[in-house]
Every structure is written in C-alpha cells, then in structure tokens.
Chain A
Amino acid sequence: MTLHADLPFDQPGLAALLDSSDATAQDALGFGVIGFDDDGLVQRYNRFESQAAGLRAERLMGQDLFLAVAPCMNNFMVAQRFADARADHAALDDTINYVLTLRMRPTKVRLRLLYQPGANLAYVLVQRS
C-alpha cells in the first residue's frame, strides 16, 4: 500500500494504514514514524525522523526504543502508556505535546501514540509543532 506524502498527522485510522504499509512507503510521510514490536524493538524509523535526529535508520533497527533510541520518552507520559495499553489489551490513540532533544536542541513536538491489540507494530508519530 502506498502512502501520500501529505497524509495528515491526525488522520483517523492511521494505525491501520501504517500497519499495512512498508518502510519505503512510510519514508514519504511529512512527519516522523517510529514503529516498534511487542518487545519494544525498533522496526521502523522513517526518513523524516532519521533526518531530524541526525541518525540513519540502520543504526537503530532492532534496538530497544525506550532504552537505546529515545530515552527521553522513557517515562509515564509515553513509555508507560504503551506498557499499560499492552497489559490491558486496549487500543491507544492519543496525541500529546512533548519536547524532544533532536540534535540536543529542545524541540516542541506533538507525539501521537498508536497501539492496536493484535497489530504487528506500535507507533510513535512525531510532528514539529
């Protein structure tokens, strides 16, 4: 499935769209996409996010998202939300304001947290605000 470059960040049902698209398709998007599996290991890191962070996706594939890729999200505001959703088998689709430290600059962003029970990957989407 192909994704349009101008697919909006807040598009309803984005979890299903992402789940049925491949890494190349996600590279076209105008916001950051980080997909990770049930073990918390990064399986997707799209071009937008890679350029913003200054890290190539190859470097991060298979790493633990909250320990080795994005420790800034390892708190109750983000990581805990996914852990809770998994434990409760509940869908998660919430958008929060956050600050990332892209190239060590404080950067205001909106994070969309997506998890669907049974889906292959959970996603953190990142949009500059």
Chain B
Amino acid sequence: MSAGAGQPDDQDVAHDYESLLQFLYLAPVGLVQLAADGGIQMLNPVSAQLLMPLSRDGELTNLFEALGPVAPDLRLQCSAFAAPQGQVCDAMRLYVHADDRNGGPQVLSLSMLKLGADRLMAVLTDVTMQDRRERQLRKTDAWLNAIMTNITDYALVSLDRQGRVESWNESIERVTGYAAAAIKGQHYARFYPDGATTEAQQLDRLREADENGWTLDEGLRLRADGSEFWGSAMISPLPARADETSAAPPRPSDGDPAYCMIIRDISDRRDVSENLRKATYSDHLTGLSNRRAFFEAADLELKRRQKAVRPVALLVIDADHFKAINDRHGHPGGDAVLAHLAQTMRRVCRQVDVLARIGGEEFAIILPSVGQDDALAIAERLRAEVHRTPATYAQQAIAYSISIGVAVMDDTLDGFDGLIKRADEALYAAKRRGRNQVAVWAPPPAEQP
C-alpha cells in the first residue's frame, strides 16, 4: 500500500502543530507544568502575564518561588500531598493586592493537580472582579441570615445618637442579664469584651447604619455577670420623627432614641460560622488572619478613616535569620517558631487588632485608632517579649528574634499599599541596623534646592 490518503503529510503536521501552539498561546487561563520542586517546565502566555508582576528577580524558573509572597504554604501543601495523583488545591484564592494604579489583577485563583511523582499542573486565573462581587454578596447573605434565621431570643435596645443605651426593657435583661440601672446611659460597647472594639469603631458602626440603613456584626459579647456568648448585632437608624408643621426634620437632641439595636444570642450557630470563617480567613499554621482577611480588614479600616480621620498604624514583622533556623532545626522547627511568634503577637495585642501572616516568615498587625508613639511601644513590647521567651520544638528551646517596621497612615498616602511600603522600608532599616529591633518609617530628607 502506498503512502496515501490516511497518512497526514509533513505539511499537515506542521500546520496542526502551529494551530496547537496558537491554541495554547491564546488560552485565556494560565497553564503551568512544573516538577515536584516547583521548577517550571512549560507555561503559556497568560501564566507569564499573571506571574511576571509577582516575580521578585524578573525570572520565572520556579512556581513556588514566584508565588512565595502570596502563597507561602504552597510548597508544603504540594509536598504533603501523599496520593500519587489528584487535586492538591482547587480554586484557591491568592491575594496579590498589586498596586491599584497599575490596574493589575489583585486576586488570582490557583488550582493544582498532581499528575505524578515529579509532575504537577497548575491553572491560574484572574478572579479580581469575581472576588469583588462575592464580597458584596456575602454582605447581603449576612443580612438575610440575620433576618431569616429562627430567632430563639433577642434583645431589642434603643440607642441615642452617641450610641448610649437610651431605655431599658425586659428583653435586654433576658439576653444580657443587665438590670435597668446598670445599663441605661451606658455606651453599647458595654456588651463587648475588653479590647474587642474601640470608640472610633463603635461610632463607625453608627455612621455605617446611617448610610446603608443597617450594619451587622458578629462576635463575642459580654453578659452583665462577665460570661461571654456568641452574638450577632444589627443596628439600624430609627426614622426621624416627622414634624407636620415644619419642612425640615427637627434635629434630634442628644438623648433621643436614634438607633435600634437587635442583639441575638447565636451561640448554637457559632461552631458552624467559626469553622467556615477559619477555613476562608485563617492561615493554616498559625491560626492568624491570612492575606485575604488582612487586606479586607485593611480596606475596611481605610474606608472608615476616610469618613472620620483617626490614626491607623501598621507593624510589619519579620523573623530574623529564619533560613538559618530552618537549616538548623528543620522545617518543623521553623514552623514551631512561626507558631510561637503568632502566640506572642496574640498575647501582646488587643482583640480589635488585626494579626496576620502575610508571607513565609512575614507577619503584620493593623492597629486601629493607635498613633505612632503607642504603635512603637506595642512593637517594642512584642520584640522584647519574643526575645525573652524562646520557642520550643522537640524539647529544645529555639531562641530567635524579630525585626519590626512601623508606619502610620497619613494624608500623603492614598492607599494601603503605600502604608505597607513604608512599614516595609522601616523593617529593612531595622534589619540593616542589626536586627532584633524596631524602626519607624521616616520621610526621606528634603532635597536641597
């Protein structure tokens, strides 16, 4: 039989090859094939488009390294995946938070498939817009939840313009245990545990309610006897009393009821919502906020600051010589140090502070309503505490130290990225000066004319 109709000739193969290449060049998702150590073997253009802005050295040789700043756990996750094949992660969100002005993607989705002992495939997509929509939806969900869920018991509290409890009723006593005399005229922060909120934050909630018609938050609440319960509180403004004779609504005096607050004891549902929250917002190793939670909290804090100026401080924390710790004690030893550092951060900070792991050995703390001097004092306390108490791993004490960069928000900055940059600069200054110290960001000296 002669080479005939059934056999594609060289030209056909070349043509198909070209089409196939173009198909991959134009695939609208990022595809990467990598070795077990993260070494990139093949990737298509959209991968480069998404990864190049993250690359610190301008190279794309290793995916774990390229994604290191935003997915510090990835290498561990892949190496800990025991099955010979299977899905390592599915649509995991990576919070890049590239500079807004660059207009680049801020949220990536990563799926990772293990194909063999030394072969992994990654799919990367830009889900910035999708993430934004989902955030909006979550808010609406929380609202619906608050209304639709079976209400077993609730307290109905009226607040004045300043957020003080305006009048007492029986439901308040039922849910929170407060008698009239103990709560009337008190600020509604009385229902929060110590350190769980700041005065500025409480006024924010009221302002939020003014603007949106309602505000909702969930968390630990305090009864009169000091016991805690898991509560959800919704505040909404009361309609201004209509005054038939004048066109302009009368300005309510300070003591009048201005808001209605409903506190519900939802301790039963706490486990469910806590687990869900943990899975989405926590760093696996340390239990602190992950990058996603961190940047969402930062956004919120800055939005609040735009409405009412108040200090916001940021600490960026880095474990000194962490590579050496890993080398000497192995990765589990390094992990023990990170977990210990997280614990120490929790001890030193208030509940309202946002503690996060934002990179491999990099941590950050947002301190709402804290100015530079206090932020410095907190940073110094944290540094000293870490220096004083070593971590332990396998019955062995591992002494380590941290460096901290401090920056506070001011009006020359127009976003959170600028603040992080300053805190990072301060952190490098602390490292340069010999580590185990705190440095605060200082403006560069004015240029000589």
- Residue ranges of A at the interface with B (Cβ–Cβ < 8 Å): 53-56, 59, 68-77, 80, 97-101, 103-106, 108
| Count: A-B pairs, CB below 8 Å | 76
Q: Is the CB of B49 within 8 A of A104?
A: no
- Asked, given contacts A71-B25, A72-B46, whether A99 binds B102 with beta carbons under 8 Å apart, the answer is no
Q: How many residues of B contact A (CB 8 A)?
A: 29
Give the segment of B55-63, B74-82, B236-244 that binds chain A.
B55-63
Could you tell me which residues of chain B, from 30 to 54, have a CB within 8 Å of some CB in chain A?
40, 42-50, 52-53
B104 at the interface (CB under 8 A from A): yes
Give the segment of B14-22, B147-155, B315-323 that binds chain A.
B14-22
Q: Is the CB of B18 within 8 A of A104?
A: no
Q: Is the CB of B52 within 8 A of A71?
A: no
- Asked, given contacts A71-B26, A99-B52, whether A108 binds B59 with beta carbons under 8 Å apart, the answer is yes
Q: Is the CB of B45 within 8 A of A97?
A: no
Q: Is the CB of B52 within 8 A of A106?
A: no
Nearest chain A CB to B350's CB is how many angstroms away? 38
Nearest chain B CB to A101's CB is how many angstroms away? 5
Binary flags per residue of B340-369, CB closer than 8 Å to A gives 1, else 0: 000000000000000000000000000000
What is the chain A residue whose CB lies nearest that of B19? A59
Bound-state Cα–Cα, A97 to B55, Å? 11
Q: Is the CB of B18 within 8 A of A72?
A: no
B384 at the interface (CB under 8 A from A): no
A103 neighbours in B (Cβ, 8 Å): 21
Question: Lowest 3 A-B CB distances belong to which pairs?
Answer: A72-B45, A76-B102, A72-B48
B8 at the interface (CB under 8 A from A): no
Bound-state Cα–Cα, A53 to B26, Å? 13
Q: Is the CB of B48 within 8 A of A100?
A: yes
Q: Is the CB of A101 within 8 A of B48?
A: yes
B24 at the interface (CB under 8 A from A): yes
Binary flags per residue of B98-139, CB closer than 8 Å to A gives 1, else 0: 100011100000000000000000000000000000000000
Nearest chain A CB to B93's CB is how many angstroms away? 19
Q: Is the CB of B42 within 8 A of A99?
A: no
